[in-house]
Structure 1
């Protein structure tokens, strides 16, 4: 195993408009905000991130020419609750724009780590909460973990304009005991982060705290490690096949630029193969985790892990041999903390290549030719921990031009006390311990440039042909192709019974057969949002009600639920953008693809959950004139033996 590593880059390394922010740029932006009296003692920065230039400017950029580096800052006055959005030029060292935010219309800025840390003292200082603990026989409050969670938006009286968290509690038997095994159920505290007080205690009644422990990292609980496994070693004696130049990666005909965003995490820019563009920008722009327990303690559990908690800020440092195996190249993430200071997360992104079985194979009956080629893929990944869950995001690039995103969900179930009265909404995973049904719904933003900017999108279904004169034996089937002409037609559902896919083509570029070059998005056909269409979460996460949305590119349309998701009343993002019903045929289009997991927990998911996966595939469809991997050499004899 080999660890290749690049650390914090110097300011002078910035040579492209999409280069990741450096530590110096973060410090400069904070200094400009302070000098402009926008950042002060009580004003914090929930977000400070690169303000990407419009696509046309980036595509017209010539290396060596000057360009303006700008950041977008979200500012929150923790003393008053007021918030602003500002755009700062770190090149010109000035503030270009400041916009005041209305919490009733825009929602709240994302939640900061320091606010989570405030909650423990706030709830434990509240007499009503302490009384609720005492009624449950909990007396040692040092062993209570107060779990702060985003509040959502439910038009509850007295909550208008407040910056809120809702707090559930869990018990530890000792400091090393995992608290998720012991939910202190039936009680929830509503906390105002500005006034730093508990504004309401909801107590639905005392239920027993589950006793059995769930310490998956304790040999006394799990037993001794098995001894049957023999080593598997991954070696590349001549090194990897990829090359890295700053943020630019080249591999087997592929080129792309790596980015990392505090909100989205890993971003792939300007994906191209053999210098032909395919995707201008690919990211997971939002994810929502709606829970299905309608009771008074947990009806509000709906989490936007990107918009409310910032996926990129929750990134893990990856470890060689555990998170990534093989000849690894790591990228650090340089992020801004709430004071405007740079924070470096080592080994935030892992890149390696791996064997992926047979690429193509044929043994010919007539010529006796027997040929096999092996597939390999480039893996670019990162992992985040958001509360109890851990998510791995794995982008795969294949030799044949396929692009795939796989999300791996693991971690610990969010738990509750279990009895038969809640059996419609929870699974019992241990004695007296339940886990509510929930979904993990992700939205990939795919800014397509299939052989150029002007693209069109078709919905392609297989079609059964009834028996008749043209189908005498009833064996025929064909296709139905529907052009998605405008945004009013852009919300689509997957359908496995029709093998539905969506083809993104360039009407101005044809292959040697005279047909438009294209890529096809192949979904996994899992359920979309299961909440009632009139619910709060359906308004706020409208993107998750369809598997696909297609919109016309606009530089300020980045997040499918809107820029400010925390406590937003709904209607922002895709619903607002598509009202204008812009035309899509032969235009600069963006695809928003919802995919995910509907999780009915099982006992095997406790006390730590084996990985569950979801994702999608983009495959070339007439983009190449023939199989683009005919030049892949046979495997060397030393690596192909019994």
Structure 2
């Protein structure tokens, strides 16, 4: 079986290549009737290989596949060479120490069938007045790792249940609290059923789809048009916009990835980032009750962000002159599945770029900021997340993550006997609670500021006391501390001193002789709030710091390891940095933790307005001057005004 040759080492896997991969695994005897494909990923070549490649050079295409035998639970990792038509590597994964592959789509339906047929679970439901099991929807949730006897090596989920009043009902409004089932997905049995008591069941509907009668009629249309078309060009996966050039990628774990981001400066395309992605996100819950203490979800490593991507809709998810990209991933059977409109790209006006009115020379000048938006949206159970990468005219890069969807509801127990409120959740509707939780993301930024060898400086504002050099006390300065080894580079943000991290190239300077750099500007919201001794603190060690800097290693792709599901916490970033590698003038990767701490509000019910988290990368001495000085004057022909003007052009 032959597949079309890839034009670049980082080209996304095609449907034909995914089919070819499956065929090679079949021919090698690795696929049987009970084999499933939790992971099928492009085995990206090492950075040095990609950077040394030139158009016309041969491209070897490799695929890394994780296979699960549903009859035995055995997990095999195989590498195929599509170029050579052979399996070139295989090993058995030790699920006890390495963890399990992600949960697959078919397992959600499997769990419902198991519980609907289980006598103990059905009896627990009947005790709550629920006699029709098939009206009860089961949320199969990742099990974590808690050193519970008998769970070692099992492929488990822990299951909470919700009543669905009818086929159109919002199930999340009706949590059946107090009972949780631990289910083995291989043996298809309930390993343990915990019943912590019967709580009142909320049966009030909480739909969020307004009827045509109830929708407001005050809004008039906003039309965003680009009569001459968009300013970007697309050649395969390569995008050129204004002075930016980059490559789009997509895989089933991280979803959207951006590669080889560079900025055209004169005759040079100057590299900034080799590879950027959201490599993991975890949602740790703060309710320690017997049925909820284990609630911690790794949406990338346990559920696969790319597999959960939405097909986006024009005018709803994206507005303007849109360019969509389809994504092709492998389904649970190892065959290609196309996700239409998985990635959305468009331009947005973003207000004023710069402006000045000068009373000395009588001039007034203004330019409009514009940004390129590359985004995708996922749904993981009750929550929905949008990931938006922004590129700006002035060389700024931003990532914004948007959290929405339906909060994970519980029964609200009401005040305690001493009159105090329940300390672990908010009451968001009568009798309905929402446990406190966090949404913590890890951005993996494989930096390449003006080349592959960079260093990281921690820069912060510093007060200067009154003294001979500061007699009036008005002076302040900044301090710069080089992070020289991995042991020094696990850092917390500090907004009180404006702490930022500058990625510096000591071998490249601007016209002032300063090293070129890009600054990571963190939001500095809380890191993980769970106790340092907790299971989640071990498994999601990356969430305990806002920044980690590691020396590049192509095998270190995910901050909690390759197999996060039921991993006890022994393959994450905290284990890598024990090597304490030199990062001063090295090939460095930044891992930035950011996110939200969510104390749900009544206004978050029955559907949550978008909440935002993210960070900014800003050039610092990377350019000799403002790189957007050549931005064109704004045109007023696409604007309108409700007032009569004086005849002058809008911008002058």
Pairwise TM-score range, normalised by the shorter structure: over 0.9
- One of 128, 131, 147 as aligned partner of 1:155: 147
Deviates more, 1:63-72 or 1:209-218: 209-218
| Residue 343 (structure 1) aligns with | 337
Aligned equivalents of 1:445, 1:55: Cα separation in 2:
15
| Residue 494 (structure 1) aligns with | 493
Aligned equivalents of 2:169, 2:330: Cα separation in 1:
32
Deviates more, 1:521-530 or 1:95-104: 95-104
| Residue 171 (structure 1) aligns with | 163
Kept in 2: contact 1:112–1:338 (CA 8 A): yes
The 5 A counterparts of 1:379-528 are 379-419=373-413, 420-421=415-416, 423-528=422-527
Q: Secondary structure at the match of 1:105?
A: helix
Kept in 1: contact 2:540–2:572 (CA 8 A): no
Cα 1:371–1:72 shift into 2, 3 Å: same
Aligned equivalents of 1:259, 1:537: Cα separation in 2:
30
Q: Does 1:26 align with 2:18?
A: yes
Residues 315-337 of structure 1 show CA distances to partners (whole Å, capped at 9, x for unaligned) of: 00000000000100000010101
| Residue 16 (structure 1) aligns with | 8
Aligned equivalents of 2:569, 2:160: Cα separation in 1:
24
Aligned-residue offset at 1:143: 1.1
Aligned-residue offset at 1:497: 0.1
Q: Does 1:297 align with 2:291?
A: yes
Aligned equivalents of 1:448, 1:525: Cα separation in 2:
21
Aligned equivalents of 2:57, 2:455: Cα separation in 1:
33
| Residue 7 (structure 1) aligns with | none
Aligned-residue offset at 1:640: 5.1
Kept in 1: contact 2:383–2:405 (CA 8 A): yes
- One of 101, 115, 122 as aligned partner of 2:114: 122
Aligned equivalents of 1:195, 1:228: Cα separation in 2:
56
| Residue 650 (structure 2) aligns with | none
Q: Secondary structure at the match of 2:240?
A: strand
Kept in 2: contact 1:212–1:431 (CA 8 A): no
| Residue 177 (structure 2) aligns with | 185
Kept in 1: contact 2:63–2:79 (CA 8 A): yes
Aligned-residue offset at 1:216: 0.6
Q: Secondary structure at the match of 2:512?
A: coil
The 5 A counterparts of 1:538-557 are 538-557=537-556
Kept in 2: contact 1:467–1:474 (CA 8 A): yes
| Residue 285 (structure 1) aligns with | 279
Aligned-residue offset at 1:13: 6.6
| Residue 139 (structure 1) aligns with | 131
Residues 117-161 of structure 1 show CA distances to partners (whole Å, capped at 9, x for unaligned) of: 100010111111001001101112221001110000001111111
| Residue 4 (structure 1) aligns with | none
Aligned-residue offset at 1:571: 2.5
Aligned equivalents of 2:575, 2:519: Cα separation in 1:
27
| Residue 273 (structure 1) aligns with | 263
Q: Secondary structure at the match of 1:497?
A: helix
Residues 393-436 of structure 1 show CA distances to partners (whole Å, capped at 9, x for unaligned) of: 00000000000000000000000000224720110011000000
Q: Does 1:319 align with 2:309?
A: no
Kept in 1: contact 2:173–2:202 (CA 8 A): yes
Q: Does 1:353 align with 2:352?
A: no
Aligned equivalents of 2:370, 2:290: Cα separation in 1:
51
| Residue 3 (structure 1) aligns with | none
Q: Does 1:256 align with 2:250?
A: no
| Residue 5 (structure 1) aligns with | none
Q: Secondary structure at the match of 2:175?
A: coil
Kept in 1: contact 2:454–2:504 (CA 8 A): yes
Root-mean-square deviation (CA, aligned residues, Å) is 1.1
| Residue 238 (structure 1) aligns with | 228
Aligned-residue offset at 1:218: 4.5
Aligned equivalents of 2:228, 2:4: Cα separation in 1:
32
Aligned equivalents of 2:351, 2:452: Cα separation in 1:
34
Aligned equivalents of 2:553, 2:27: Cα separation in 1:
32
Aligned equivalents of 1:382, 1:588: Cα separation in 2:
29
Q: Secondary structure at the match of 1:427?
A: strand
* TM value normalised by structure 2: 0.96
Aligned-residue offset at 1:112: 0.7
| Residue 228 (structure 1) aligns with | 218
Kept in 2: contact 1:151–1:567 (CA 8 A): yes
Kept in 2: contact 1:542–1:571 (CA 8 A): no
Deviates more, 1:612-621 or 1:154-163: 154-163
Aligned equivalents of 2:108, 2:219: Cα separation in 1:
41
Kept in 2: contact 1:330–1:351 (CA 8 A): yes
Residues 84-126 of structure 1 show CA distances to partners (whole Å, capped at 9, x for unaligned) of: 1111111111111111111111011111111111000101111
Aligned equivalents of 1:292, 1:11: Cα separation in 2:
49
